[in-house]
Amino acid sequence: MNILIIEDEKNLARFVELELRHEGFQTEVSYNGRDGLEKATAPNASWDLILLDLMLPELNGLEVARRVRQQSNVPIIMMTARDSIIDRVSGFDHGADDYIVKPFAIEELLARVRALMRRIDIEKKETTDLKNILTYRDLTVEIDNQMVRRGDEIVDLTKREYELLIKLMENINVVMTRDKLLEDVWGHDSKIETNVVDVYVRYLRNKLDKSDEPSYIQTVRGTGYVMRA
């Protein structure tokens, strides 16, 4: 993990840097707000966390946080001697994720860093899990194990039927032309006719649709197909 420390008190910055490196983190230090902002928002920046002092020369920490937030969601922990409620609220309003008051025990700072990283990891995992599941009405597709469910019932699809369903469910409310579906599902070099798409849509409807409900896949005459929310 890469941590940027923006702190003008050199002794404190060095102490924090050494402790973080001892914990296995990669660190870089900036001693004023303007330089810190440039490092935080550099095109090739890959920070996992920013430790940011509030009172900085050239550009204060609140302004640094505000500008960083315009470009990045990198976690920010503010470090400051100002501990009034209004200071804390202002820090959070400007984009801080956590706030630690000087003087602090290094063990507390390290604990806050670890806690924030755990929270970020959990959020990333939840986001990834959501990306691996597609839903439409009562249809659920679990991408990782290629399982399709209608309600509690597992629907058995062929590889091509599954790929066609995925393409339609990834584009809810987008009309997919027959040519586009043929290209995406059967491949650029496919020599088959576009009416094969109609055939496979019929296969899907036979396996998915219920007689008393509208079809999951709607036909757009002269164009192609769509699953509408």
CATH number at residue 38: 3.40.50.2300
Whole-number Å distance between alpha carbons of 44 and 46: 6
Q: How many CB atoms lie within 10 A of CB 152?
A: 7
pLDDT by 10s per residue, the chain, length 229? 899 999 999 999 999 999 999 999 999 999 999 999 999 999 888 899 999 999 999 999 999 999 999 888 899 999 988 878 888 888 888 889 999 999 999 999 999 999 888 887 777 766 655 568 899 999 999 887 889 999 989 999 999 999 999 999 999 999 999 999 998 898 866 567 778 999 999 999 999 999 889 999 999 999 999 999 8
Decide: pTM greater than 0.85: no
Whole-number Å distance between alpha carbons of 121 and 127: 10
Whole-number Å distance between alpha carbons of 94 and 109: 20
Number of folded domains that form the chain:
2
Nearest 5°: the CA angle 145, 146, 148 is 120
**Containing domain of residue 211, as a range?**
133-226
The tokens for 166 are: 């995925």
Q: 30 with 78, same domain?
A: yes
Which residue, among 12, 49, 15, 13, has the nearest Cα to 29 in the 3D structure? 13
Q: 90 with 175, same domain?
A: no
Q: Is 178 helix (H, G, I), strand (E, B) or coil?
A: helix
Q: Is 54 helix (H, G, I), strand (E, B) or coil?
A: coil
Please, are residues 55 and 80 in contact by the beta-carbon 8 Å criterion? yes
Q: 107 with 190, same domain?
A: no
Q: 13 with 47, same domain?
A: yes
Name the DSSP letter for residue 182.
Answer: I
End-of-domain residue from the set 129, 153, 188: 129
